[in-house]
Amino acid sequence: MERLQKVIAASGYCSRRKAEELIQTGHVAVNGIVVTELGSKVSNKDRIEIDGEKINKEQKEYYLLYKPRSVVTTTSDDKKRKTVVDLIETNARIYPVGRLDYDTTGAIILTNDGELANLLMHPKNKIDKVYIAKIKGILHPTMIEQLKRGVMIDGVKTARSKVKVKRYDRKTDTSIVEIIIHEGRNHQVKKMFQAVGKDVLKLKRERISFLDLRGLNSGEYRRLNPKEVKKLYSEVDLKQ
């Protein structure tokens, strides 16, 4: 027997958090009876329906994509722009874990495992996200310390981060900076640099946890192997 919300998330229908919302708002029925209690447990023999639609357990799929520029991080787009889901050949109902801006490139995970997606996105699990930013000008030591300690964006202070200047180009007056964060707020890295008076010219996410882009070109992807999936679960379980 497993908790109802966990079974729904495991089916790939949605994240565990969304499943909890659906249960509490009366959208979920088990064997024809609406269930609104989050503690409810079900077995493999139970019929689970969401708004009258039976959920089926999907085979879990996990992908690491090197997102190109000018691709949106969503499952569909009303402006008919290409999405990250369009780049992956699968019949599974996958979705991106977190997001990258339209003009930001780099690593993003896509999966139909709602349980893992929710764990990876939750700030309390402190999953490292490593970015390389190209900024205008020099990042002075005082600015680096500000970024490390946290800066105010949208009225809320960011968590501590790691910052390292990789190089400075005098000819173009630009710096390449590595910044490691574990939050996932909207436009966070760009806003952090703006908070210390620097504009981001280019931004790339190089790594998520231990997963990097080695062997991938822009627009390419690969499936995660069982060992990598187990390691991701292990990392978030250790931080619970």
**Token pair for residue 92?**
């599974």
Q: Which of 101, 103, 154, 212 is catalytic?
A: 101
193-198 average pLDDT score: 97
Q: Which helix (H) or strand (E) holds 171?
A: none
- Say if residue 123's pLDDT is above 90: no
Measured CA to CA, the distance from residue 234 to residue 82 in angstroms comes to 33
- Residue 101 a catalytic site member: yes
**Burial (CB count within 10 angstroms: exposed 0-12, middle 13-18, buried 19+), residue 114:** buried
pLDDT digits (tens, 9 = 90+) for 126-169: 899 999 999 999 999 999 999 999 999 999 999 999 999 999 99
178-190 average pLDDT score: 94
Helix 141-149 to helix 188-195 angle, to the nearest 10 degrees? 130
CA distances, 9 to each of 6, 20, 30, 43, 170 (Å): 5, 9, 15, 15, 51
- Say if residue 240's pLDDT is above 60: no
Q: How confident is the model at residue 225 (pLDDT cuts 50, 70, 90)?
A: very high
Cβ neighbours, 10 Å, residue 179: 22
Q: Which helix (H) or strand (E) holds 164?
A: strand 162-169
pLDDT digits (tens, 9 = 90+) for 67-116: 999 999 999 988 999 999 999 999 888 999 999 999 999 999 999 888 88
Tell me the three state secondary structure of residue 232: helix
Measured CA to CA, the distance from residue 113 to residue 10 in angstroms comes to 6
The pTM is what? 0.79
Query: Can you give the pLDDT at residue 92?
Result: 87
- Say if residue 239's pLDDT is above 60: no
Per cent of the chain over pLDDT 70 is 98
Q: Are 88 and 63 in contact (CB under 8 A)?
A: yes
218-233 average pLDDT score: 96
Mean pLDDT of all residues belonging to the chain: 93
Walk me through the domains of the chain, giving residue ranges and CATH numbers.
Answer: 2-54 (3.10.290.10), 62-123+211-238 (3.30.70.580), 128-208 (3.30.70.1560)
Burial track 82-91 (b if 16+ CB lie within 10 A, e otherwise): ebbbebeeee
Query: Can you give the pLDDT at residue 238?
Result: 55
The residues, ordered by sequence, that sit 6+ positions from 219 with a Cβ below 8 Å of its Cβ are 66, 68, 87
